[in-house]
Amino acid sequence: MGPLHPDTATSFNNLAELYQDQGKYEQAEPLYERALTIYEQQLGPLHPDTATIRNNYNLLLQMMKRYRRS
């Protein structure tokens, strides 16, 4: 499918979620960023799937901020 296909972005997102669930935030962050970039380029910034990835990424950033304060 290729590196810019939305299904590739979905795989990045799913792997990022796994890392996030394991508390591996630094490993999850670049995967969310890559997934979001692909979705924005291929589907547009207002597409519902793009919004889902953006939300996932923002939740991770919130978790990282709380984690770093501890």
For 11-28, the pLDDT digits (tens) are 999 999 999 999 999 999
Inter-residue contact 28 to 16 (CB < 8 Å): yes
For residue 1, tell me if it sits in a domain: no
Residue 67 has what pLDDT? 65
Number of domains in the chain: 1
For residue 47, tell me if it sits in a domain: yes
Find the domain containing 35 and state its range. 6-69
pTM: 0.88
pLDDT per residue as tens digits for the range 10-69: 999 999 999 999 999 999 999 999 999 999 999 999 999 999 999 999 999 999 887 655
**Spatial CB neighbours of 60, under 8 Å, sequence gap ≥ 6:** 16, 20, 25, 28, 29, 32
Under the banding of pLDDT at 50, 70 and 90, the label for residue 70 is very low
For residue 40, tell me if it sits in a domain: yes
Apex 49 CA angle, 12 and 11, nearest 5:
15
Residue 1 has what pLDDT? 83
Smallest CA-to-CA distance from 34 within 61, 16, 59 is with 16
